[in-house]
Copies of this chain bind each other. A is one copy, B any other.
Amino acid sequence: MATVKLWTDEEVSANARVKAVFDDIRATRKSDFVNNFWRALASQPVLLERTWSSIKEVMIEPGTLDPLTRELIYIAASTINNCSYCVHSHTAAARAKGLTDQQYSELLAVIGMAAETNALATALQIPIDPEFSIG
């Protein structure tokens, strides 16, 4: 159960600001499906508008990292942040963008090794090598 109401399409249609965002989500993604994340944010239109606008800029607009790579980064961050919802939604998004089973297996291996060495480096409180300096 969410801490807020999830808006139905009917409720969305009755609110012009929310409807404008949902229309843009559908047009941008070329799909009628709008997932629960946006239906939960609908209760706070300002936050909804700013979040969608940022997500669109960061995840969808053309750039030097391809869309699938961005999803892999998103999954890595969401896994370590332990966001079940985000792991599910971005793993589904990555699959829709062509993630293969072999790539997924390698993604999991990198996330797992990072988590392990992160813990070891923290437990050992290893000082940063001066060679890593950018100066």
* A residues neighboring B (CB under 8 Å): 1-6, 33, 35-37, 40-41, 43-44, 46-47, 50-51, 54-55, 57-59, 63-65, 69-70, 72-89, 91-92, 100-129, 131-135
Q: Is the CB of A125 within 8 A of B57?
A: no
Determine the residue in chain B with the shortest Cβ distance to A93.
Answer: B132
Given contacts A3-B123, A51-B120, 10 further A-B contacts (CB under 8 A): A2-B126, A40-B126, A44-B105, A44-B108, A46-B105, A64-B106, A65-B110, A77-B114, A77-B115, A81-B122
CA separation between A108 and B86, bound complex, in Å?
Answer: 17
Looking at the complex, which one of B4, B70, B128, B129 makes contact with A106 (CB distance below 8 Å)?
A: B70
Number of copies: 6
Cβ contacts A to B, 27 pairs, < 8 Å: A1-B125, A1-B134, A4-B134, A37-B117, A37-B120, A41-B120, A41-B124, A43-B101, A47-B112, A50-B57, A54-B54, A58-B110, A63-B102, A64-B103, A65-B72, A69-B72, A72-B73, A73-B73, A76-B80, A79-B122, A85-B127, A86-B117, A108-B123, A111-B123, A115-B116, A115-B118, A116-B116
CA separation between A37 and B84, bound complex, in Å?
Answer: 16
